[in-house]
Structure 1
Amino acid sequence: MPNNPIKMSKLRQVLKLSFQGHNKLQINKLTGVSRNTVKKYLDIVDALSTSWEELSRLSDKDLDELFCKEPEVVPDTRLKELLAFFRDNDKRLRQRGMTLLRLWELYRREHPAGFGHTAFYRHYHLWKRRVQPSMHMEHTAGDKVYVDFTGEKLPVLDEATGELQEAEVFVAILGASQLTYMEAVMSQRVEDFIGCCEHALHYFGGSPNAIVPDNLKSAVVKSSRYEPTLNENFEAFADHYGMTPLPARAYKPKDKSLVEGAVKIMYSRVFVALSEGPATTLERLNEQVLLLLEQHNNTPFKGRSYSRREQFDELEKIALQPLPAKPYELRRSVHATVMKNGHVCLSVDKHYYSVPYGYISKKVRILFSVSEVEIYYKYERIATHRRVRSAHNYSTEGSHMASQHQVQVAWNPDYFLSLARVIAPEVEHYISQVLLKKRHPEQAYKICNGILSFGKRIGHERLIRACQRGHAYGLYSYRAIEDILQKGLDLTDPEESQSTPMPSHDNIRGNHYYQ
């Protein structure tokens, strides 16, 4: 006669007491359930490799199927061989192209007298349900990485101020191998979040096809069931590493159940194992975290003979995409209007960058990183420059400028001196003095250009004499040459103008007054 079925409330008590650390005898005394029955249930729990939190969420029906439903009676030898085959080869299903049918064909080659494919499927799903009681998502090697921040934080002591700060904890896990990465950072801001994601990819040694974040603002600007709006920098980061961003649906934790489970494991294997007292720097904290993380990744799965690291090396490592040679650089965005001189100002550095002259007076968008500045007009990139942080200076590309502006770019002291030298040494000397009188040579370029232009209008001879007269007066400017030419002083003898006698007048004292 079969035993009376146990009530699910009693079964929940047995499971809860087991996870609280009570042994079989204590559970027997507290619940009245026989020790053999308790042992049977605890053996099933060990095979499931799960937690009380996951079991407590199951319905009574699911608990009954897991713990009370008797499997179909089959010959012991074949069943043991089949279960051993499942344990050893289940991870092959995570390889691309591998199906349950192909796994059965492999099983029949090793065990010609084994089960047919229908019985094989039935026993596999029964075994799978016991090993992984919750809904299981099949993960393909190299397909996805799941990322999230933990709810709990880690303390960091600032040695300089003595202030106790709380560091955010980032966790990433690969879907197929479950290789895990963990890092502490000071915030969840986009620069810290993307930095953690990048460090995780370098820890894995490659990038998967997709990245699955939660709906934090650093990844998703506006969540949506159908088409979420991604953070621009996060989207650019994913594109740089060849990944497709697939944000988890809001309020759907099963979309990222793998990383949720990894967070719980990190609490028990890393958080509680850290040395007592807060770390004095974030770097020291992450050194401790990395040591514990390596222990976790090299510890065999419960009920399995291999670890996350071994599974990664065997299955997922070769499936990852190679990392690009250049790391991703976080970009920021500002808007500006192209000035009349064909440049835009990056206000952060107060530096000016050229754009093609056809965009003068247009509103453009400037994307800049640590090393590069890109300028866009209506989604089209119109200019690229190396970022320069010197204030009030210009970065100009010659091809951006109009023809008349390109002539101005060639202006320099040697350019004007060479033009003056062609006319006469006197003009060259005068131009050199004009350049010397100004604090910055650029301030004298237009003056020099104006003075030399007189040679085309009135001839070189008059310009030479005007420069001589200006030098005699000690006046070095465009206005001085202009006055000399307008008044015709270049046409008179300097000595005649200097020997003009002083007119007599009652109010003028003669030279005898001072004797």
Structure 2
Amino acid sequence: MSKIRKILRMYSHGRSILSISAQADASRNTVKKYLTSFKDSGFTFEEVNALNDKELEDLFGKSKEHPPNSRMQSMLRCYPHVDKQLKRVGVNRQMLWKEYYKEFPDGYLYSQFCFYFNQWKARVNPVMHIDHKSGDKLYVDFAGKKLSITDKDTGEIIEVEVFVAILGASQLTYVEAVLTQQKEDFIMACEHTLHYIGGVPDAIVPDNLKAAVTKSSRYEPTLNETFADFADHYGTTILAARAYRPRDKALVEGAVKIMYTRIYAPLRKTVYHTLNELNEAIREALEIHNNLLLQGRNYSRRQQFEEVERGVLTPLPVLRYELKKQFHATIMKNGHVCLGPDKHNYSVPYRFIGKKIKLLYSSNSVEAFYHYERIAIHKRTRSMHGYTTDKEHLASTHQFVTDWNPERFLGWAAAIHEDVRLYIHNIFDRKTHVEQAYKSCLGILNFSRKVGNERLILACRRGLHYGIYNYKTIQMILEKNMDQYEESLFADELPMPSHDNIRGEDYYQ
């Protein structure tokens, strides 16, 4: 602004344009431009000189913008359509420029077409540049276009999903084909990515697919519990991208487009019969991609990763993540809960009987949770209708029942008397299944507390004499006091009593 003041001051003193140009070190056209603006303003030199630099810049510093010509206006009207078409798979600027030039032969050539498009794009839809820190974020997504494998026996073509992940700072990329976008395949692919890069970033940025986010939100999305558990296992954070905001993960969106050229194209002429075959081919093409020099730079993604990012990643945990599924069930009255997929029953502490709990089960274990507290853990067993019981979970009376076996009852009976043990032994011998005798034996042995050991011994002795072995026999003997009867040595010698109801031997002649 000081140069403008100097030019105007010399002009007010009557100096010529040639002299002003030489003294101010400015071209004659520049001097004429400022003097023209000064004359058009209608102000005196004193009034202009009193303006501050900002006001002086507004008056002289800004060049007047000329309205775009018809050629430019025609191209600007095409840009919204160009922007929309570029979002389609396989469409690029070269193709759209050719269509534009066909319609407008006197239009701009390709370089100017792209130059003005970038200016238009920045003006109508400005983008914030993001500097990615080393080890900060891993962006993950599924490609829009699928690959396929062919069944060797039937010839059926099976389309498969393509998972893509890219580190923010080094742009090291990982690609894997999976059968579905469901959480099992998605989490498995994420885990394979972490082991491929050999560490864990601070955060994973997924799209709003159901495998990662159960309820999308602009401010606080609800994460899938299994995916959140996976993140906890590896000590990282999930930062879900906003719905319908692809720029939140523009890096992986760009990586997907590159994969269409670097991986899809080399694989399109080969038929693969298994997912493993396809992934082996993907891995070979991926290594070539990661080792190519970046455009305009003298290093590759792999070199950049090794130099600036590998060292700042968090080390992998010793154990790999074990995918867990959920199942909700109600604890039965017997203190067990049934895992539906296996139809197997597992014990839980008896105080939770009747409560609805959540089961988290993996290929090896089953965990029971009530209000976010783990109340039981068992090794998974797949035998249908079976029971896995921890005695510590049962009430004291139930624990007693679980210890029932023939040896326990025989030992209890022997502690009372040998005749009692022999009677109990005969009960077990006459049952096709030993568990059928447990309650009978328990009832008989409990008589020792009701009538005493002596009466029970006599009752069992009389029962052995009768040759009838069950609970009701001992009960009848004790209730009728038959254990107190004494046998007569001469009972067989007594005469037959006389009675009208006795027919006598003559009746049968």
- Where on the TM-score scale, by shorter chain, does this alignment land: which range? 0.7 to 0.9
Residues 199-254 of structure 1: per-residue CA shift (max 9 Å, x gap): 11111111111111101111111111111111111111111111111111111111
For the residues of structure 2 that align with 1:33 and 1:57, how far apart are their CA atoms? Answer: 13
Match of 1:307 among 252, 276, 300: 300
Q: Distance in 2 between matches of 1:163 and 1:493?
A: 91
Shift of 1:343: 2.1
Residue 278 to residue 493, structure 1, CA distance change in 2 (3 Å): farther
Residues 245/474 of structure 1: CA separation in 2 closer, same or farther (3 Å cut): farther
- The alpha carbon displacement at 1:506 in A equals 9.7
Report the CA distance shift for 1:249/1:493 in structure 2 as closer, same or farther (over 3 A).
same
Contact 1:357 1:402 in 2 (8 A): yes
| 1:467 paired to 2:490 | no
Are residues 184 and 507 of structure 1, via their aligned partners in 2, closer, same or farther at CA, if it must alter by over 3 Å?
A: farther
Give the residue type in structure 2 aligned to 1:372: S
Alignment partners' CA distance in 2, 1:247 and 1:217 = 11
Comparing 281-290 with 456-465, greater Cα deviation is found at 456-465
SS of residue in 1 equivalent to 2:474: helix
2:201 partner letter: P
Counterparts of 1:235 and 1:493 in 2: how far apart (Å)?
80
**Cα distance in 2 for residues equivalent to 1:255 and 1:19:** 26
The alpha carbon displacement at 1:61 in A equals 7.2
SS at match of 2:376: strand
Offset at 1:361? 2.1
Q: What's 1:383 paired with?
A: 376
Q: Which amino acid in 1 is paired with 2:132?
A: H
Distance 1:328 1:463 in 2: 62
Give 5+ residue unaligned stretches, structure 2.
Answer: 1-28, 30-68, 83-90
Structure 2 residue identity aligned to 1:227: E
Q: Distance in 2 between matches of 1:207 and 1:362?
A: 39
Work out whether 1:424 is the aligned partner of 2:417.
yes
Q: What residue identity is the alignment partner of 1:384?
A: I
- Cα 1:507–1:258 shift into 2, 3 Å: farther
- 1:58 partnered with 2:118: yes
Q: Deviations over 1:370-413 (max 9, x none)?
A: 22222222222222222222233333333323333333333332
Deviation, 1:485, is: 2.6
Q: 1:341 aligns with which of 334, 355, 358?
A: 334
Deviations 1:314-356 (A, max 9, x none): 1111111111222222222222222223222222222222222
The answer to whether the aligner puts 1:329 opposite 2:322 as a matched pair is yes
When structure 1 is superposed on structure 2, of 463-472 and 273-282 the one drifting more is: 463-472
Aligned to 2:265: 272
Match of 1:189 in 2: 182
Moved more, 278-287 or 134-143: 134-143
Equivalent positions of 1:483-498 (< 5 A) are 483-492=476-485
Distance 1:56 1:214, change over 3 A: farther
Separation in 1 of the partners of 2:288 and 2:488? 100
2:442 partner amino acid: N
1:372 aligns with 365
Tell me the secondary structure at the aligned position of residue 193 of structure 2.
helix
Partner Cα separation in structure 1 for residue 300 and residue 202 of structure 2: 23
Distance 1:509 1:297 in 2: 116
Separation (CA, whole Å) in 1 of partners of 2:217 and 2:160 = 29
TM-score w.r.t. length of structure 1? 0.71
| Contact 1:270/1:289 (8 A) holds in 2 | yes
Within-5 A mapping of 1:214-293: 214-274=207-267, 276-293=269-286
RMSD: 4.0
Distance across 2 between alignment mates of 1:145 and 1:464: 80
1:58 alignment partner AA = N
Deviates more, 1:425-434 or 1:169-178: 425-434
Which residue number corresponds to residue 49 of structure 2? none
C-alpha contact (below 8 Å) 1:154/1:167 kept by paired residues:
yes
- 8 A Cα contact 1:338 1:363, kept in partner: yes
**Distance 1:236-1:436 versus aligned 2 partners, 3 A rule:** farther
Measure how far apart 1:306 and its partner are: 1.1
Give the residue type in structure 1 aligned to 2:395.
A
| Cα separation, partners in 2 of 1:136 and 1:433, compared to 1, 3 Å | farther
| Partner amino acid, structure 2, of 1:241 | Y
Out of 297, 307, 330, the residue aligned to residue 290 of structure 2 is 297
Deviation digits for residues 4-40 of structure 1 (CA, Å, limit 9, x no counterpart): x996959x99xx99957x9xxxx9xx98999xx98xx
- Higher mean displacement: 250-259 or 321-330: 321-330
8 A contact 1:469–1:494 mirrored in 2: no
Any residues of structure 2 matched to 1:395-410 within 5 Å, and which?
Answer: 395-410=388-403
The superposition leaves residues 458-496 of structure 1 with CA deviations (integer Å, 9 ceiling, x where unpaired) of 222332333344445454332332233333444447899
Tell me the residue number matched to 1:392.
385
The aligned counterpart of 1:350 is: 343
What CA distance in whole angstroms lies between the structure 2 residues aligned with 1:230 and 1:494?
84
CA deviation map 1:278-303 (0-9, x unaligned): 31111111111111111111111122
Structure 1, gaps ≥5 residues long: 46-51, 64-132
Evaluate the alpha carbon distance shift between residue 420 and residue 57 of structure 1 in structure 2; reply closer, same or farther with a 3 A threshold.
Answer: farther
Contact 1:148 1:171 in 2 (8 A): yes
Match of 1:84 in 2: none
**Per the alignment, in what secondary structure is the counterpart of residue 327 of structure 1?**
coil
**When the two structures are superposed, what TM-score results if normalisation uses the length of structure 2?**
0.72
Distance 1:61 1:150, change over 3 A: closer
- Give aligned pairs, total: 422
Deviations for 1:101-143, whole angstroms, at most 9, x for unmatched residues? xxxxxxxxxxxxxxxxxxxxxxxxxxxxxxxx97532111111
Report the secondary structure of 1:272's partner residue.
helix
**What residue in structure 2 maps to residue 363 of structure 1?**
356
**Match of 1:217, as an amino acid?**
K
Cα 1:174–1:18 change in 2 (3 A) is: closer
Aligned to 1:434: 427
Q: Which residue of 1 aligns with 2:47?
A: none
Distance 1:182 1:471, change over 3 A: farther
User: Which residue pairs with 1:156 in the alignment?
Assistant: 149
Supply the distance in 1 between the matched residues of 2:315 and 2:204 (Cα, whole angstroms). Answer: 15
Cα distance in 1, alignment partners of residues 504 and 276 from structure 2: 88
| Secondary structure of 1:456's aligned partner | helix
Q: Quick check: 305-314 or 484-493, which moved more?
A: 484-493
Distance 1:284 1:61, change over 3 A: closer
Alignment counterpart, residue 172 of structure 2, candidates 173, 179, 199: 179
The one-letter amino acid paired with 2:324 is R
State the one-letter code of the partner of 1:422: A
Cα deviation code 1:157-182 (max 9, x no counterpart) = 12344322110111111111111111
